[in-house]
Chain A
Amino acid sequence: MGAAFPAKLRPAARARCGRRRPRAPRWEGTLALLEQDHAFEIADALISESDADETEVSIHCVEDRFVRFAADGPTQAADRERYALRVRARYSVPQDAGGGFREASASAGDLDEESAFAALDRASLLASLADPDPGAAPLGGSAPVEPTAPSRPTQDHTVREKGAWISAALDAAEEAELDASGLARSGVACAALVNSAGRRVFGATSRASFELSCADRGADAETLGGAAAGASVAPFVDQVSVDGTVADVVEAAVQSRAPEAFDPEPTDVVLAPAAVAALLTFAAGAGFGAREFSEGSSFLTGRVGDAVLDPRVTVRDDVTDARIRGLRFDGEGQPRERVSLVEGGVLGRPVTDRTWASRLGLPNTGHGAPQPSARGPLADALVMEARDRSVEELCADVGDGLFVRQLHYVNLIEPKELVLTGMTRGGTFRIEDGRVGAPVRNLRFTQSLVRALQDVIGVGDTALRQGSLMGQDVVVPALAVRGFAFTSA
């Protein structure tokens, strides 16, 4: 990693003017994260040299350590850091020429002075050629943002410590004659955004996880044998439950051995939190954003204020939730609002960013991507409220049906009703006489999420942070649903 270019940079010292300041020595193998003041100084140096009418600089730094493993031990392991410095340049268009701005962005993967100014040059060039956006408003100015900090133990968590987690999993799996695989990971990140209108925001986060899959040996393990998966995901490494995850996954994998065939048909189900997470992330990407709402493809369109879902369903987007602890600002440095998306089954308004808030006449909720972007605002910190039923009680409520631990490769077929398809995975069991019983083979479902959230039998009493195949974390409880549409085996 190259050291970030000197803080007190002034035009005369700039590389593109032919002079360079000497590099500060790198503190090898330790922090890649920048302090707030250092990040702001880099941004200020770029903004002061920009000839654009408005300039925005954002800096992201990530430190990441992971060990991936399979039955024979670690398979991939990395100790790495990554930077992204992004410059957004905007040129105002005179009112008599339609008003608004021309804008563009460019980024560099290093905080080296030369790379940073090259990114500024690229952004300025692209912006000068872009079409004017007459509706574009000036950049937002100063905004108060609550500070966040990463956990130092998470930042310092070593590969060797992850090895101890993995050893425990491999031993437990071997004892049960299972093959284990998974990922132990910890990382910290910081983000800063400064713009020429006076906005200066900074935050840092951390995340740690232990993911485990256990399966019988052989190519057909997940189809004909026992298999289960689970994970513990938390903001801080000392919140990760390794022992609990190992015990739960090994036990479930053993219980899921010799699964029987099950005729695919609409069936009452209890979906464990991991399965609910796999479904709900699609509401974020295809339903809760203002762009989809405006285009008419969102299930919210035309239904805001309507009691569409079961009254026990409440969903919010909330980066302040203690299980998430996300950055408190969005891609334009706008403070993230806590947004009620579904309250007691009544649909709320979508999340917005500056552009879409303006277009739709709504408040800016601070859910924007770095701009300019073809992507609309995104609710990426979903929290579904827990209610009052334990998993055992949900199974009792279902009576006869299926208990689904995990869903795999879910994808969107139709956005307006959020029709999704995917497979069960990692332990699917009959519910017989209100109790979890014999394992069944994996099934494909093709099911409307909107319909599922209407046909709720009960909502679990504990909401857990869950990852997903596509990367977004959500906090969700277990859910019992009537007539879940299994469509093939």
Chain B
Amino acid sequence: MPAPRTHAGAGETPAGGRPTALDAVAREAVDAAMARGADAADARVVRVSTERLALRNGAVAEASAPEEFGIGVRVFKDGAVGFAAAPGTHRTLPDVAPGVARRAFSVARDLAPLRRRPVRPAGAATAVGSYATPVEEDPFQVPLEEKLDLLRRADQGLGGRREIVSRFGLIDLRREEQWMATSEGGATHQVLVRSGGRIEAISSAGGVVERRSHPQALDGDFRSGGFEVVRSLGLVEEAERVRDEAIALCYAAPCPGGERTLILGGAQLALQIHESVGHPLELDRILGMERDLAGGSFASHARGDLDGELEYGSEHVTLVADSTLAGGLDTRGWDDDGVPSSRFDLVREGRLVASQSGRVSAGLAGQDASTACSRAEGWYAPAIDRITNVSLAPGAGSLDDLIATSEDGTIFADTVKTWSIDQERRNFQFTCEVAWEIRGGKRARLLRLPTYQGNSLDFWRSCDGVAGPEEWRPWGVVNCGKGNPMQIAEMSHGAAPARFRRVRMVGLGGGRGAS
């Protein structure tokens, strides 16, 4: 008897096959827009199936299996862009799609007189083909009992100490299937699967409340792939360590302030990359198209910053954008403009050389083609420029080597606790979950609330070492908010631990402000 499961598992696509019905729906929507007089159009039919299982304090706090299915149509008309979207299913979408296309056309037509400079998408979306995430173990086929048992065992590891006031474990699985058609003849089909989770312990002792997470804070750690990703996270194996570190943090001294050498672990570096490299190098931000909410960027297109003129970091800093990265959350065949995925340097040995763009922003910037970084949340949102998988290239040696060659008083910190960065991505302040002070080339006392503050360019310029490939791994981000109205996107950031000199640590010992 097959194990019970929440979703159809293999979804809409028979293994090795390619359905045509929803290809046709997307095509008909594009044709309907073009028949109205659109200059160009594209349509995406998207079906997203998710399964989330969470235990809080040993009880099932969340057991949900949402599904989203619908169509979004984008129309270019007289230099303006319009978008419309509606939900549907296999049965209803054929009837829904033409109306959605007409509404998208109306939006573009009505707004065209307001455009002071026409939108002309760069390049063309002519790709035809299929892409599927490599999956070893279909996450929706794994028995639910097995998933819950994994979470229960992790919960047991987190418990057993009175200082732990909250235990949490999560498994989160997602499968997105997308059929896209463009008026330039593009027709693509993608099946994107990602899996992940996390555990967390919150401790309270001596008037201090602390949190420790594994393998990553916030929503957890994720990679593209199947249930093999969840099995690799060590949710059970690391639970007791997480519990013990959460408790120890309550009794640890606050991290002192002052200028220090700082070594960041990969989990924290992923956020650092995300906020101070990923976002400022989105071309729509650079062009001012995001200024109304998220802000702009210190990088200037007009000033030539993207042509190698800007010293972004030290010679140890090479940052690679790669939507073909194995295990990356933004690893796919094509972006939501229908442009093929690619790998390219954003920062090469410290010099800024490129940005992340979609067809619209690249067109406005006078570029010939985009870098395939345009994505939308589901079927119901218009595509915007997005951070793809952006990684810090590994250097050499190990974390222990970095620590051993650092002076007394160096701080090794990891795992994001909180973060903030200004609207042009200059001034940031990040707090980690945990830190150790380095003494005699080794980790010494545990410290809580390690908080560092800086300027993005100064910070990357102060990097004097990145650990090697053996320490490098991608970290998944599943909560990237951008746009107005806000959309959520997912991407990965590969990193090995790295060292930064003369970093300003902010002392937060009093709990009522900074020192």
**Interface residues in chain A, defined as those with a beta carbon under 8 Å from any beta carbon in chain B:** 1-3, 23, 26, 28-29, 32, 64, 66-83, 102-110, 112, 114-115, 118-119, 122-123, 125-131, 133, 158-160, 163, 166-167, 170, 179, 181-183, 185, 211-213, 215, 218-223, 229, 266, 295-297, 372-374, 408-417, 419, 421-423, 425, 442, 444, 446-448, 450-451, 469, 471, 485, 487-489
**Least CB separation from B301: chain A residue:** A219
| Contact pick for B81, options A74, A183, A222, CB 8 Å | A74
Q: Which residues of the partner chain A approach B72 to less than 8 Å between Cβ atoms?
A: 80
Q: In the complex, are the beta carbons of A421 and B92 less than 8 A apart?
A: no
| Contact pick for A446, options B91, B152, B296, B429, CB 8 Å | B429
12 A–B pairs (Cβ distance < 8 Å), ordered by A: A23-B91, A72-B116, A77-B108, A78-B84, A82-B87, A109-B87, A114-B89, A222-B291, A222-B296, A408-B295, A423-B423, A487-B506
**Least CB separation from A185: chain B residue:** B485
Q: In the complex, are the beta carbons of A181 and B288 less than 8 A apart?
A: yes
Assess whether B300 is interfacial by the CB under 8 Å rule.
yes
- Chain B: number of interface residues, binned into ranges: 35 or more
Residue from B62, B145, B420 having most chain A Cβ neighbours under 10 A:
B420
The answer for the CA separation of A469 and B6 in the assembled complex, in Å, is: 34
Assess whether B388 is interfacial by the CB under 8 Å rule.
no
B70-93 contact mask (Cβ, 8 Å, vs A): 1 or 0: 101000000011111111110111
Q: Is the interface of B mostly helix, strand, loop or mixed?
A: mixed
Interfacial residues of chain B within 1-44, with CB under 8 A of chain A in the complex = 4-7
Q: In the complex, are the beta carbons of A2 and B166 less than 8 A apart?
A: no
Q: In the complex, are the beta carbons of B512 and A219 less than 8 A apart?
A: no
**Interface residues in chain B, defined as those with a beta carbon under 8 Å from any beta carbon in chain A:** 4-7, 54-56, 58-70, 72, 80-89, 91-93, 95-96, 99, 102-104, 106-108, 110-111, 113-117, 119, 144-145, 148, 152, 165-166, 168, 170, 202, 204, 207, 209, 284, 286-293, 295-303, 305, 360, 364, 380-382, 384, 417-424, 426-427, 429, 431, 449, 451, 453, 483-486, 504, 506, 508, 511-514
Contacts A1-B86, A79-B104, A82-B380 given: A131-B148 contact, CB under 8 Å? Answer: yes
Q: In the complex, are the beta carbons of A409 and B103 less than 8 A apart?
A: no
Q: In the complex, are the beta carbons of B84 and A170 less than 8 A apart?
A: no
Q: In the complex, are the beta carbons of B83 and A75 less than 8 A apart?
A: no
Q: In the complex, are the beta carbons of A413 and B431 less than 8 A apart?
A: yes
Q: In the complex, are the beta carbons of B298 and A220 less than 8 A apart?
A: yes
Contacts A80-B86, A110-B70, A442-B422 given: A73-B382 contact, CB under 8 Å? Answer: no
Q: Which residues of the partner chain B approach A409 to less than 8 Å between Cβ atoms?
A: 420-423
Q: In the complex, are the beta carbons of B84 and A130 less than 8 A apart?
A: no
Q: Which residues of the partner chain B approach A1 to less than 8 Å between Cβ atoms?
A: 86-88, 92, 96
**Least CB separation from B90: chain A residue:** A114
Q: In the complex, are the beta carbons of B86 and A112 less than 8 A apart?
A: no
Q: In the complex, are the beta carbons of B92 and A112 less than 8 A apart?
A: yes
Q: Which residues of the partner chain A approach B113 to less than 8 Å between Cβ atoms?
A: 163
The answer for the CA separation of A160 and B113 in the assembled complex, in Å, is: 10
Q: In the complex, are the beta carbons of B83 and A77 less than 8 A apart?
A: yes
Contacts A77-B82, A413-B449 given: A408-B91 contact, CB under 8 Å? Answer: no
B75 nearest CB across to chain A (Å) = 10
The answer for the CA separation of A213 and B364 in the assembled complex, in Å, is: 20
| Contact pick for B417, options A23, A166, A413, CB 8 Å | A413
Q: In the complex, are the beta carbons of B420 and A76 less than 8 A apart?
A: no
Q: Which residues of the partner chain B approach A126 to less than 8 Å between Cβ atoms?
A: 6, 63-65, 144
Q: Which residues of the partner chain A approach B115 to less than 8 Å between Cβ atoms?
A: 72-74
Q: In the complex, are the beta carbons of B513 and A70 less than 8 A apart?
A: no
A394 nearest CB across to chain B (Å) = 22
The answer for the CA separation of A105 and B80 in the assembled complex, in Å, is: 41
Residue from A125, A372, A421 having most chain B Cβ neighbours under 10 A:
A421
Q: In the complex, are the beta carbons of A183 and B484 less than 8 A apart?
A: yes
Q: In the complex, are the beta carbons of A451 and B87 less than 8 A apart?
A: no
| Contact pick for A295, options B84, B166, B511, CB 8 Å | B166
The answer for the CA separation of A143 and B99 in the assembled complex, in Å, is: 40
**Least CB separation from A81: chain B residue:** B86
Contacts A179-B288, A425-B422 given: A129-B513 contact, CB under 8 Å? Answer: no
Q: In the complex, are the beta carbons of A218 and B300 less than 8 A apart?
A: yes
Q: Which residues of the partner chain A approach B67 to less than 8 Å between Cβ atoms?
A: 106-109, 115, 118-119
Q: Which residues of the partner chain B approach A108 to less than 8 Å between Cβ atoms?
A: 66-67, 69
Q: Which residues of the partner chain B approach A421 to less than 8 Å between Cβ atoms?
A: 418, 420, 429, 431
